Amino acid sequence: MASKALRSLLKPYTTCEISDAFIKLKHDRAWYIPDIVQYSPMQPSDITSSGPSSTDNKICGPAYTVKMVLASDKTSPTPKQHFVDAIPEGSVVVISSPFPQARSAVWGGLMTAGAKVRGALGVIIDGRFRDLNEHREAGFPVYARGQSTLGQGTFTRPSELNVPVSVILNPASDMELATGQGLPLHLPVVIQPGDIMVADVDGVVCVPKDMVEGVAERCRIGRQTDDKCMEDIKAGKGVAETFKLHRGKL
């Protein structure tokens, strides 16, 4: 199935619905990428009860991956062209940086200008960025672990484009242990080029291409169930009673 078709299957759903679908499909890690949050066009803290819903400003599209290395790394390959110039139209830029070793940004306002002209849907950064106001003024979605005032060039450099990248999780998150398993609760997520990335105010998930159809169908079922639960709870029925009636059938 083409990337546009895969994207259309997942676009109606939130990252929470997608994570729930993964859990129902017995994928316990749910392909969730912790600790990466939305900074542009708005932050979660900007949203009020009368403001945009979690589906506003979301991005959903195939991953175009960029692997960054420390500038001191003289052995890793170097791309033949600037990574922004190679962005495919309709893609989500996913940057893997040597975080937390590199304290510099790997994305800035000029990168957003170039990415937007090329039709990128947004950027997801396993690392830091800068020039926040420029991204917001451009209305360009930026998801990252944090910010920096330091530019990229002196500290990091692009190494490979459109290769599998491993998102190494925040050490604090990685110390969480699964109950009784003795294993990290959040294992590193390997993102393949073309995997469908979905990001909204709740977080970021990666959906492998070969799992999109199954996940989308489970999202559809889950939404129908939650709609019934919401209707009953708003009508005054108990939460336990409602869950037993509707969620017990899943």
- Reported as a single tens digit per residue, the pLDDT across 173-201 is 444 444 444 445 556 899 999 999 999 99
Contact 197, 214 (CB under 8 A): no
Burial class, 88, CB count within 10 angstroms (exposed 0-12 / middle 13-18 / buried 19+): middle
Q: Dump pLDDT digits (tens) for 48-103.
A: 544 444 446 899 999 999 999 999 999 999 999 999 999 999 999 999 999 778 89
Predicted confidence at residue 186, as pLDDT, reads 57
CA dihedral 43, 48, 53, 59 (to 10 degrees): -10
Contact 168, 35 (CB under 8 A): no
Mean pLDDT, rounded, of the chain: 88
Assign 46 a pLDDT band (cuts: 50, 70, 90).
low
How many whole angstroms separate alpha carbon 158 and alpha carbon 94?
Answer: 12
Q: Where do we find the tokens 């990337």?
A: 3
Q: Which of 29-38, 83-92, 101-110 has the highest mean pLDDT?
A: 83-92
Kindly give, in sequence order, each residue whose CB lies less than 8 Å from that of residue 233, ignoring residues fewer than 6 positions away.
239, 242
Q: Dump pLDDT digits (tens) for 140-176.
A: 999 999 999 999 989 999 999 999 999 876 555 444 4
Gyration radius of the chain's alpha carbons: 19
The secondary structure of residue 167, as a DSSP letter, is E
Strands (DSSP E) contained in 45-107 are 59-70, 92-96
What are the structural domains of the chain?
3-208 (3.50.30.40)
The phi, psi pair for 68, rounded to 5°, reads -100, 150
Tell me how crowded residue 68 is: count the other CB atoms within 10 A of its CB: 28
Q: Where do we find the tokens 């949050």?
A: 37
How many whole angstroms separate alpha carbon 248 and alpha carbon 235?
Answer: 19
The phi, psi pair for 102, rounded to 5°, reads -85, 120
Task: Report pTM.
Answer: 0.87
